[in-house]
Amino acid sequence: METQDNVKEMVKQKYSEIALQDKDTNSTSCCGTGGCSTEVYNIMSDDYTTLEGYNSDADLGLGGGLPTQFAKIKRGDVVIDLGSGAGNDAFIARHETGEAGKVIGIDFTPAMIERARKNNEVRGFNNVEFRQGDIEKMPVTANTADVIVSNCVLNLVPNKDAVIKEIYRVLKQGGHFSISDIVLEGELPKQIKEAAEMYAGCVAGAIQKQVYLELIETNGFKSITVQKDKAIIIPDDILINYLSKDQITAFKLSGTGIRSITVYAEKPDSEKAPCCGPDCCN
């Protein structure tokens, strides 16, 4: 890939285009439930329609999982949604946290923020807000959130370690996150890694599953749990844009796995002092 700034600009441009479309358009052009072509943005999209708080006009079919389903959101919680898009996960989180809670959506793309704010205005939610910002440096003060959710976003960010550190910073002590993302088991072919469309579609930017989980652990999180793990299959009519037929066959036989995982982890409650020996631990 190119420099981190170039990658970010490419992602912003691609998702600005998507923000102007509806889910049906995305689905028929992005290998969603409606069909398949040369686009890749929502080949891993899950079905939200059975979740309480779901709003179809806020669902662009871009997610890789259902983090809000696993996020253990309680009434009154402050929830932050990273890469909030048109507001789908934020509105579902708002249903869980209720009137007493608050939901903050953060997105890098101005067009997405504009669309999410319009969706929120229609609903009249006074405890949901959307902030434009880079999740590598969130526009949120430290120790704000009880829960953080994110859906197929970290793999779009070049510096994933910086995002994990930011998640730790803005979570309250004892807070937790539930994040759906795309990870790898094995190496992608070079042609896929270098393809802008595959990066914006959450595939080329994915890192190894074990590295992903180690990043979370080394940044101080505890009780790390993979809540969901499913295979992502890239259809041949997408692969053929990047690989020859022989290369597609070799890729399928290579054992490389593209996975959609939902990961849960907790920020320790630092008010509990670590054990320092028999003289001070009861």
What angle (nearest 5°) sits at the alpha carbon of residue 61, between those of residues 239 and 18? 80
In the chain (282 residues long), the average pLDDT of successive 10-residue segments reads 60 56 43 37 50 50 58 96 90 92 94 91 94 95 97 86 97 96 89 70 79 97 94 85 92 89 93 51 48
In the prediction, which pLDDT does 160 show? Answer: 93
In the prediction, which pLDDT does 54 show? Answer: 46
The full set of domains in the chain, from first to last, is 4-266 (3.40.50.150)
Structure tokens at 158: 């070049």
Chain centroid to Cα 24, Å, comes to: 21
In the prediction, which pLDDT does 49 show? Answer: 53
pTM of the shown model: 0.77
Tokens 């003289």 sit on residue: 279
Cα 195 to Cα 67, 153, 177, 205, distances in angstroms: 27, 17, 30, 10
Tokens 């708080």 sit on residue: 53
* Count of beta carbons in the 10 Å neighbourhood of residue 226: 13
